[in-house]
Structure 1
Amino acid sequence: MKGNLTLDAHATVGKVDPRLFGSFIEHVGRAVYHGIYQPDHPSADADGFRQDVIDLVKHLQVPIIRYPGGNFVSGFNWEDSVGPKDQRPRRLDLAWRSVETNQFGLHEFEAWAKKVNADTMMAVNLGTRGIDAARNLIEYTNFPRGTYYSDLRRQNGADQPFNIKTWCLGNEMDGPWQIGHKDATDYGKLANETSKALKWVDSSIETVACGSSALDMPTFGQWENTVLNIAYDNVDYLSLHRYYGNRDDDTPNYLAQNLDFDDFISGVVAMCDAIKARRHNKKQINLSMDEWNVWYHSNQQDDETAPWQEHPHLLEDIYNFEDAILVGSLLITLLKHADRVKIACLAQLVNVIAPIMTDDNGKAWAQSIFYPFMQASTMGRGTVLTPITSAETYSTKEFHTVSYLDSIGVLNDAGNQVTVFAVNKSLDTPMQLHVDAGTFDFKQVTGATQFAGYAPKQTAQDAAMHIAPNTKYTLDAPGLTIELPPLSWNTVQIAV
């Protein structure tokens, strides 16, 4: 089977915002407790943070992490999570029917984020709270000194401001499962006024308004139109959330779900631009895909988990190889939209639908989805080249025309190397991918890898998976040909 990718230095999608490779930590399950924070673990440092987890997170080079939710934030009183730990209240978390001890809070997260070289994307509670709590929070985190909340931060041990620059205006407020669920008009008004107040405290920040939490929400489209008509002038991004699963055990159809992802993004971009045109506004609203991943393996276990525990095992999907291949295609899709998707958060980072898992008394380990995300994050910074691809296609119950090939190229910031990412979706046939150099001068291959050779349902437990070199390539003017194994995620780096 043959495939083709044509690249042109003069045809570009846009510059990659590093935040495209963000992630997410929510107070749910073992994401925080026994995930990033476990003072009694052998690997814990002086702050109680698991060093084995820190080491794995650093491999991903995650530039920004959304916190503290998610559904959790709609019932979160931020004041509970600061000050002396022995004075912090235990609370019922209604979102996940758990007990929150508040032994890990804002200061602890900021300290941990610095250790993994990540910025914070702070979410504010627009469910049970609103403008007042939000303005007090940003005064606490971002104002230097001399006011009640800034001096309270200093009293609690942080003399310098946290300087959080990206703020989420609530979470999934279109969803009836959300504490404080609102209709689009009520949410739009609250988001608009909250964003104004936050920016009056710190004019350097950016804010993210909630878009539809899924493509199949009954209010999809109407929600975006109403919220942006109200808040367009005072927000910077609109959020999107999307999760996928293979509940019918139909692998070819499952691997085509990136087409749905692409349609979702394109549709929301069109809505934003229609409102911009109607308002005769020069400002462009960009997108924040601040929750995306595979999520379905743990659903039954979650339904059977007893409520009101501390850090119960929740949302602990154990990912297999076909999940990693789909995640690779979703990453390529995000890069294809790098001109408008500026922030994206793989949800989540540790234990909860995550690339990293921990054993309570053992080691942290990397799941299958860790590997394509790591390579996209570390190799995918720069300028995305407009992809022109061709390959054989197949059809499924949901998608009429599915290419076996997903591929894209990224030119690094120095302008001297192109990285090609490619997925072969065929379960049994290798693909000879020809990369047409176009206006580039391909000088030499500086690296080529493949993530391949595993059964679709195989997992990465017991360190069973790794990235391998790919030596099956040739430079053949005017380009390069490389063999993509069946069911594979591939990279090739080319000096230009």
Structure 2
Amino acid sequence: MSTTESAAGRITAKITLDAAFTVGPVRRRTFGAFVEHLGRCVYTGIFEPGHPKADGDGFRTDVLELTRELGVSTVRYPGGNFVSGYRWEDGVGPVEERPARLDLAWHSTDPNHVGVDEFAKWSAKAGVEPMMAVNLGTRGTQEALDLLEYCNIDGGTAFSDQRRANGAENGYGIKMWCLGNEMDGFWQIGHKNAMEYGRLAADTARAMRMVEPDLELVACGSSAPTMATFGEWERVVLTETYELVDLISAHQYFEDFGDLQEHLSSGHRMEAFIKDIVAHIDHVKSVKKSAKQVNISFDEWNVWHMSRDESKTPAGKDWPVAPVLLEDRYTVADAVVVGDLLITLLRNTDRVHSASLAQLVNVIAPIMTEPGGRAWKQTTFHPFALTSEHAKGTVLQLAVESPRLSGGKTADFAALSAVATFDAAAGEAVVFAVNRSATDSITLSAAVAGLGNAKVIESVTYANKDPYWQATADDSTSVLPGQNVSVKLDGGRLTAELPAVSWSMIRLAVDGAGS
């Protein structure tokens, strides 16, 4: 659907909210993140003994505080590409006895000062649910079983007693497990074709469920929609694993190649990927005549400018520990895209049951640190934190009328991207909206009478005249989400001006929904 242009530089869009029309619950696991042994994510990121703000376990308390403020729910660990060559046993026991190993994925050296036990301890301090990945690249079913035993069996076996000897009396109770990582990728250590991986994943899942039947298992989906094997990979892998797994992964990154309008279409492209994955899942379900529903774990997503120098790995005889790697500096436009990607994940909450922003600290991350120094927020921190804090209850199915845009290779996408959540118990509804136009503001008209009696309690917008403004350690606060004074509510009709390249949140107190 489309609307008419109202004036030069301004377009109009409409949405209708009604508490009776829902998509599904707001899932806390949508607000997950990702910690990989890559660059400075772990070392000088979450962990830096000797830092003025390090606690007794060597964890940076400033990063812990920012992680809690970000509102992260789950954290996927330890990779990523790293996991496909990882020997978890190297990272347990006395630190001084742990071996340093080459990390082939990122041409680095890992000292193994942080491993399973440290991650579990950090997760407890951060208040996040750990999501563990097993190595199905250079290793297989037995090693996955060993790690599961180490993590989750309370005692009385070799590996559980080893964990107890290492200081953790009780098992960690980790429920979410990734069966490898991006095994469709030629870059992956131990890369396999779909049948090879599907059978290994099925064997591993079947064995892990013999230890703990109610684990939540994630099979590897395609690394990107551009993969030549996308679709066929899902069909073959799910044919082998459908009754044994709960989720299949999706990974997708977005980059600004110099066309801002195309960059702002990222949420549209993510939505198309999700719908394609759903079609492939449901095809296998139909063929198998299964009563089970497999859903999506979108456990790697973000803006990543991977063609830039920041993403060039070391080479040759240089195998550094914690090199500066993938340390993108994000713009306001990047933050708007991240906000839109979260909107897209929420809008598809019926099928996307888990997601992980990749990554948490320093590496394409909302949180940055200086070794021995400050921690600070990138632009992308703000829409994530506010959405995580305020999206609660149920995701509503919106009726949307929006002009269409085109940018670069992406055509015919909506200028307005929006989602709304409704928490009946708290009496609050929240509208999250992104103006994807690079040039025009949007006059938004929202019909909210279907929520009941409503009043505006907060309205914020994140935008800047220069959409390429970047936060730095010296200035991370000049551009922050600010009050949107244009928001008005009169007679069940809410209006707002949404600047070009902007992310907005409008919170409403409501009562009498549906009456």
2:490 to 466, 473, 476: 476
Deviation at 1:298, TM superposition (A): 6.8
Give the partner amino acid of 1:315: L
Residue 235 of structure 2 aligns to a residue whose secondary structure is: helix
TM-score by length of 1: 0.98
Q: What is the match of residue 303 of structure 2?
A: 294
Question: Deviations 1:110-132 (Å, cap 9, x if unpaired)?
Answer: 11111110010000000000000
Residue 489 of structure 1 aligns to a residue whose secondary structure is: strand
1:456 to 460, 467, 478: 467
Deviation at 1:397, TM superposition (A): 2.8
Give the partner amino acid of 1:408: V
2 CA distance for matches of 1:426 and 1:371? 20
CA contact 2:297–2:352 (8 Å) conserved in 1: yes
Residue 310 of structure 1 aligns to a residue whose secondary structure is: coil
User: Aligned residues, how many?
Assistant: 495
Residue 443 of structure 1 aligns to a residue whose secondary structure is: strand
Deviation at 1:438, TM superposition (A): 4.4
User: How is 1:88-167 mapped onto 2 (pairs within 5 angstroms)?
Assistant: 88-167=98-177
1:303 to 284, 303, 312: 312
Deviation at 1:134, TM superposition (A): 0.5
**1:241 maps to 2:251:** yes
Q: Structure 1 residues 254 and 69, CA, compared in 2 at 3 Å: closer, same or farther?
A: same
**1:421 maps to 2:432:** yes
Q: What is the match of residue 322 of structure 1?
A: 333
User: How is 1:267-278 mapped onto 2 (pairs within 5 angstroms)?
Assistant: 267-278=276-287
1:65 to 56, 64, 75: 75
Question: Deviations 1:191-217 (Å, cap 9, x if unpaired)?
Answer: 011011111111221100000111011
Give the partner amino acid of 2:371: D
1 CA distance for matches of 2:307 and 2:118? 28
Give the partner amino acid of 2:429: V
CA contact 1:298–1:314 (8 Å) conserved in 2: no
1:41 to 46, 51, 60: 51
1 CA distance for matches of 2:187 and 2:424? 43
Deviation at 1:327, TM superposition (A): 0.9
2 CA distance for matches of 1:418 and 1:483? 19
**1:8 maps to 2:29:** no
Give the partner amino acid of 1:246: D
Deviation at 1:427, TM superposition (A): 3.2
Same amino acid, percent of matched pairs: 46
Deviation at 1:15, TM superposition (A): 0.8
2 CA distance for matches of 1:402 and 1:302? 30
CA contact 1:381–1:413 (8 Å) conserved in 2: no
**1:312 maps to 2:323:** yes
**1:250 maps to 2:264:** no
Q: Structure 1 residues 252 and 129, CA, compared in 2 at 3 Å: closer, same or farther?
A: same
Deviation at 1:392, TM superposition (A): 2.2
2:370 to 351, 359, 374: 359
Q: What is the match of residue 212 of structure 1?
A: 222
Give the partner amino acid of 1:105: G
1 CA distance for matches of 2:314 and 2:208? 38
Question: Deviations 1:79-108 (Å, cap 9, x if unpaired)?
Answer: 100000011111000000000000011111
TM-score by length of 2: 0.94
Residue 56 of structure 1 aligns to a residue whose secondary structure is: helix
CA contact 2:264–2:437 (8 Å) conserved in 1: no
Q: Structure 1 residues 44 and 361, CA, compared in 2 at 3 Å: closer, same or farther?
A: same
Deviation at 1:466, TM superposition (A): 1.3
Residue 113 of structure 2 aligns to a residue whose secondary structure is: coil
Q: What is the match of residue 283 of structure 1?
A: 292
Q: What is the match of residue 28 of structure 2?
A: 18
Moved more, 378-387 or 18-27: 378-387
2 CA distance for matches of 1:486 and 1:219? 37
Q: What is the match of residue 465 of structure 1?
A: 479
CA contact 1:39–1:49 (8 Å) conserved in 2: yes
Residue 382 of structure 2 aligns to a residue whose secondary structure is: helix
Give the partner amino acid of 1:289: F
Deviation at 1:297, TM superposition (A): 5.8
1:443 to 454, 479, 483: 454
Gaps of 5+ in 1: none
CA contact 1:141–1:162 (8 Å) conserved in 2: yes
CA contact 2:77–2:130 (8 Å) conserved in 1: yes
Gaps of 5+ in 2: 1-10, 511-515
Q: What is the match of residue 396 of structure 2?
A: 385
2 CA distance for matches of 1:403 and 1:233? 37
Moved more, 174-183 or 474-483: 474-483
Give me the CA root mean square deviation.
1.3
Residue 407 of structure 2 aligns to a residue whose secondary structure is: coil
Give the partner amino acid of 1:456: P
CA contact 2:259–2:408 (8 Å) conserved in 1: no
2 CA distance for matches of 1:224 and 1:163? 29
Q: What is the match of residue 441 of structure 2?
A: 430
CA contact 1:16–1:342 (8 Å) conserved in 2: no
Moved more, 275-284 or 299-308: 299-308
Q: What is the match of residue 491 of structure 1?
A: 505
Q: Structure 1 residues 239 and 261, CA, compared in 2 at 3 Å: closer, same or farther?
A: same
Moved more, 425-434 or 154-163: 425-434
Question: Deviations 1:288-320 (Å, cap 9, x if unpaired)?
Answer: 000000111673233264530000001111111
Give the partner amino acid of 2:199: K
Q: Structure 1 residues 111 and 298, CA, compared in 2 at 3 Å: closer, same or farther?
A: farther
Deviation at 1:465, TM superposition (A): 2.4
Q: What is the match of residue 417 of structure 2?
A: 406
Deviation at 1:46, TM superposition (A): 1.0
Residue 142 of structure 2 aligns to a residue whose secondary structure is: helix
Give the partner amino acid of 1:352: V
Give the partner amino acid of 1:470: N
2 CA distance for matches of 1:126 and 1:31? 23
Residue 45 of structure 1 aligns to a residue whose secondary structure is: coil
Question: Deviations 1:27-86 (Å, cap 9, x if unpaired)?
Answer: 000000000000121111111111111111111111100000000000001110000001
Deviation at 1:384, TM superposition (A): 0.5
Give the partner amino acid of 1:281: S
Give the partner amino acid of 2:308: N
Moved more, 402-411 or 174-183: 402-411
Deviation at 1:469, TM superposition (A): 1.4
CA contact 1:239–1:287 (8 Å) conserved in 2: yes
Residue 242 of structure 2 aligns to a residue whose secondary structure is: helix
Q: Structure 1 residues 410 and 83, CA, compared in 2 at 3 Å: closer, same or farther?
A: same
